[in-house]
Amino acid sequence: MNRQKHIWFVFFVVLFAFTSQAQVTFETKVSRKKLGLNERVRVDFVMNADGDDFNPPSFEGFRVVGGPNQSISNSYINRKRTYSKTYSYFLSPLKQGNLRIGKASIYVSGETYTTSSITLEITPAVKTPSDGLGNNPEVIAEQNVHLVAEISNPTPYLNQRITIVYKLYVSNNVSITSQWREINSPRYADFWSKNIDSQKLNLFEGKYQGEDYRYVVLKTTVLYPQKTGPLEIEPLTLDVPIDVPGKRRNIFGRSLTTRVNKTISAGKRTITVKPLPIKDRPDNFTGAVGDFTFSVTPNKKFLEVDQALELSLTVSGKGNLNTLSLPSLKVPSTLEVYEPQRKENIRTRASGISGSISQTYTLVPQNKGTYPISPISFSFFNPDTQTYQSVSSEQIVIRVTAGSATKQDPTIAQTQTKKPQPLIIEERFRYIKLNADLSPIASSHFFKSKLFWGLLFGPLGLIPLFVLLGKKYRSMRADVQGLKLRKANRMARKYLVEARKNKHNKAIFYEALERSLHNYLKARLDIQTTQISKERIAKLLLERKVAAMAVLDFEKLLKSCELARYTPTSDVAIKQDYKKAIDTISLIDKQIQ
């Protein structure tokens, strides 16, 4: 009986020991329970077992300035194992009063464990704040490096220029190197965009939230919104190595630093685009926004029949020159008009697009006379004055003369012909040669010879060839899309040649390479410049049965063109990008359907 009691006693002791050892604890610890509005608090969620699916509280009323940081402690003391796993956050209060840190949860061995909530007392800002976090490098790095997107105008009109400047602010308490890495690039799906090249990164002194900071301008982008309403701009995100000095010093008395890699973002921004006013909008307004001048200029006003003149319509100034349409030309029906040639001379800077665009028409008069060309009006919206403005050209008079080569009217010729005078009989025949000096022709007969039949039927055999060539020419002229395709292909080859000639000039090389890639896309995918985005390009190429690897190479080329404007690039990289562009375009040409 005593032995049986002893066995049961040992069993309960062992069971109690295992139960005690297997008991899971999960709790919340804070560095302080009372702090000022301008101070910080550290929150640790500590467990004695390894769990999954950690779910932190929402931290309502706080801003998370650091974390989550994870640490694990695993030790054996006197043959007893001690395990601890901690998730740490660093919080900054957003308002005064009693703020509660809610419950966190963790999943361990099939069961869910939760912590208890903790209430913190937040007092007004203190004169000498203490972070209460020790010298945590993560928090120091978070508080001393900031990425900011400065927008020139968050509420522009449709097609009005705005500029975004991305600045990296660094306080004097930490230091960074130039080895930061771009993780996510901004996307401008509903904008016409252009990145402004920066030859080198210059360091400036400035203010961030009232404090002294140093900063560099990473990139500048000019945007022209193509839609109205709220438009979102995806953020620029960087991975930045930050050197945080500590309290320890080396043998030379210099502070030892800790390198912390932080991911910082400029944040998503929203641009609210206003529609252009309907009131006082001219009937001939086609969407030009900016400040422009307009002129119509002929290269001559006096010419002869069947001679040609050139008439140029030119818009100059500052605004959306890249997307505006010029007015149409109306001339008398007796002037034959050919398709115009468009010429662009535009520059994109941080202040916007400026320059000129022109369309030159070739006119050929069919008859002599005087031909007036009525004034042509061009209207635009000036966002500075918020009014519509119209500019008109002067009336142009073209005078066409008959010319020396023009045939004379037969009725006039008859009236002006002198009556022939009678000749003496002997003089009538004095031009006749009475003594013929003839010699026999070659012995072979020309009639029915090979040369005879060739000259007779040869022109008839060329008629089908001329008919086919004529049909081909007319079909090519009627194929507007084909004409655009061939023109874009020519432009792509032109810019590729220009890129090859400027391999030693990084800025010109990558600008020419980007233009070549864009013209190639416009030709092959039938899209406009404003529709070009990496996501749309990838989608369209994959739909046209292009291999995913070729699509990825094309996206990398476009990204290289963007990054090369503000990052150093070697001659080897330039040669590799040029060769990759040739190979990728050739591969896509073979695969695209």
Cβ atoms within 10 A of the Cβ of 3, count?
6
Is residue 25's pLDDT more than 70? yes
What is the DSSP code string of 134-195? -S-HHHHHHHHEEEEEEES-SSPBTT--EEEEEEEEE-TT-EE-S--EEEE----TTEEEEE
Q: Is 51 helix (H, G, I), strand (E, B) or coil?
A: coil
Assess if residue 10 is contained within a domain. Answer: no
**What does the angle CA 351 – CA 352 – CA 355 come to, to the nearest 5 degrees?**
115
493 and 572 housed in the same domain? yes
For residues 347 and 563, the model is more confident at 347
Take residue 11 and report the two structure tokens written for it: 């069993």
145 and 269 housed in the same domain? yes
Domain that holds residue 368: 290-401
For residues 328 and 177, the model is more confident at 328
96 and 189 housed in the same domain? no
Q: How far is CA 246 from the centre of its chain?
A: 42
CA dist., res. 560 & res. 538, Å (int): 16
Last residue of a domain, one of 273, 299, 323: 273
CB 166 within 8 A of CB 148: yes
Assess if residue 498 is contained within a domain. Answer: yes
259 and 329 housed in the same domain? no
- Highest mean pLDDT (candidates 43-57, 142-156, 238-252, 555-569): 142-156
- Highest mean pLDDT (candidates 226-230, 482-486, 586-590): 226-230
Is residue 288's pLDDT more than 90? yes
Domain count for the chain: 4
Which whole-number Å values give the CA distances from 130 to 40, 97, 134, 260, 441, in the listed order?
A: 7, 19, 9, 22, 123
Assess if residue 408 is contained within a domain. Answer: no
Q: Is 343 helix (H, G, I), strand (E, B) or coil?
A: strand
Cis, peptide link before residue 68, omega less than 30° from 0: yes
Least confident of 240-244, 304-308, 570-574: 570-574
pLDDT of the residue at 330: 85
259 and 309 housed in the same domain? no
Last residue of a domain, one of 369, 401, 433: 401
Is residue 3's pLDDT more than 60? no
298 and 244 housed in the same domain? no
pLDDT of the residue at 414: 43
pLDDT of the residue at 558: 79
Place of tokens 């009693």: 98
The string of pLDDT tens digits covering residues 125-159 is 776 666 655 566 777 787 888 899 999 999 999 99
Is residue 18's pLDDT more than 60? no
Is residue 225's pLDDT more than 70? yes
Mean pLDDT of 313-340: 88
Assess if residue 469 is contained within a domain. Answer: no
The string of pLDDT tens digits covering residues 435-482 is 666 666 655 566 777 777 888 777 877 888 888 887 777 776 665 555
